[in-house]
């Protein structure tokens, strides 16, 4: 088993004409390794890169996440937690990173306090309201 960073994972998943050498190298590395460890941080960064740099719609990002979860060649850090976060991401309008954070809190029986309006709509998250100046 090997571990890869976000850049390598994105090259495995995305066909970008300007990066053919890196894509070839990344896919060969992953193919030779048989099993690839993907940390939760790499997963969060991957989603951010796909959404921000590549402007992929949520459906495409979910397709990439589903692929990683379903493909035995990828070993996700805390896979059950990642799968729960992907389900929450699919069902809500919260960011993936927030879904992963909330999932982790739920596992520990903790309420998550946040200023994020979208996140605070989910079970287990409570919105912190700014204090008014007196």
Please count the structural domains in the chain: 2
Q: What phi and psi values does residue 38 have, to the nearest 5 degrees?
A: -125, 115
Q: What phi and psi values does residue 130 have, to the nearest 5 degrees?
A: -60, 145
pLDDT in tens, 6-38: 999 999 999 888 889 999 999 999 999 989 999
**Judgement on whether residues 72 and 8 belong to the same structural domain of the protein:** yes
Residue 18, pLDDT score: 87
Q: Print the domain residue range for 132.
A: 92-134
82, two tokens = 């990642």
User: Where do the H-state alpha helices sit in 2-127?
Assistant: 6-13, 20-33, 40-52, 58-70, 79-91, 96-107, 117-120
Residue 134, pLDDT score: 67
Mean pLDDT on 103-119: 96
pLDDT in tens, 41-95: 999 999 999 999 999 999 999 999 999 999 999 999 999 999 999 999 999 999 9
**Judgement on whether residues 29 and 70 belong to the same structural domain of the protein:** yes
């Amino acid at each position: 088993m090997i571990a890869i960073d976000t850049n390598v994972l994105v090259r495995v998943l995305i066909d970008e004409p300007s990066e053919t050498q890196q894509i070839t190298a990344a896919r060969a590395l992953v193919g030779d390794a048989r099993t690839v460890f993907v940390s939760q941080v790499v997963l969060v960064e991957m989603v951010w890169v796909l959404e921000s740099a590549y402007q992929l719609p949520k459906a495409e990002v979910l397709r990439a996440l589903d692929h990683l979860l379903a493909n035995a060649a990828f070993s996700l850090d805390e896979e059950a937690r990642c799968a729960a976060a992907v389900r929450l991401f699919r069902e809500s309008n919260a960011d993936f990173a927030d879904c992963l954070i909330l999932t982790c809190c739920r596992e520990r029986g903790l309420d998550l306090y946040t200023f994020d309006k979208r996140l605070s709509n989910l079970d287990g998250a409570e919105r912190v309201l700014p204090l008014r100046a007196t």
